[in-house]
Amino acid sequence: MRLLQWTLFIDMLGYKNINGAIDSKEKALDLINFMKENAEIFQEQDSQKRKELYLQEEFDLYEFYEPKYCFVSDSLIISFEPKEVNRKERFKDEFVRHSANVAIIIMMRLVVFIFKCYQEKNIFLRGGITNKFSYIDGSIAVGEGVGAAYDGECAAINPKIILCDDVVSNTRLMKQIKFLSKKMYGDDNLFTLNDGHHFLDYLKMTRVMTDVRSPSIKDFMVRNNMVILPKRLIDNTRNIFRRHKESIIHNMEEVNSQAKLVREKDSGEELDQKNKQIEKIRSKYVWLKNYHNQECKKLSWVNEYKID
In three-state secondary structure terms, 8 is strand
For residues 207 and 142, the model is more confident at: 142
- DSSP letter at 6 equals E
The span from the CA of 61 to the CA of 66, in Å, is 8
What average pLDDT score do residues 238-258 get? 95
Rounded average pLDDT over 232-260: 94
Tell me, what's the pLDDT at 41?
93
**Tally of CA atoms within 13 A in the half-sphere of 109 that contains its CB:** 24
Q: Is the pLDDT of residue 284 over 80?
A: yes
Of 91-100, 141-150, 187-196, least confident by mean pLDDT is 187-196
Residue 187 has pLDDT above 80, yes or no: no
What contacts 238, CB < 8 A, 6 or more positions away?
301, 302, 305
For 218-244, b/e burial (b = at least 16 CB within 10 A) is eeeeeeeeeeebeeeeeeebbebbebb
**3-state secondary structure (DSSP) of residue 224:** coil
Read off the pLDDT band of 269 (50, 70, 90): confident
Stated length of the chain? 308
Radius of gyration, CA atoms only, the chain = 21
Helical residues (DSSP H) of 157-267, grouped into ranges: 165-168, 171-185, 202-208, 215-223, 231-265
Which pLDDT value is given to residue 140?
Answer: 94
More confident residue, 234 or 266: 234
pLDDT at 25: 92
For the chain, how are helix, strand and coil distributed in percent, rounded to 5? 60, 15, 25
CA–CA distance from 257 to each of 120, 124, 217, 219, 252 (Å)? 21, 19, 43, 48, 9
* 208 alpha carbon, distance to own chain's centre: 15
pTM of the model: 0.92
For residue 208, what pLDDT band results from cuts at 50, 70 and 90? confident
Query: What are the Cα distances from residue 158, in Å, to 93, 124, 125, 153, 154?
Result: 34, 10, 9, 9, 9
Q: What band does 176 get if pLDDT is binned at 50, 70 and 90?
A: very high
Share of the chain above pLDDT 90, in %: 65
pLDDT digits (tens, 9 = 90+) for 15-69: 878 888 788 999 889 888 988 999 999 999 999 999 999 988 888 999 999 999 9
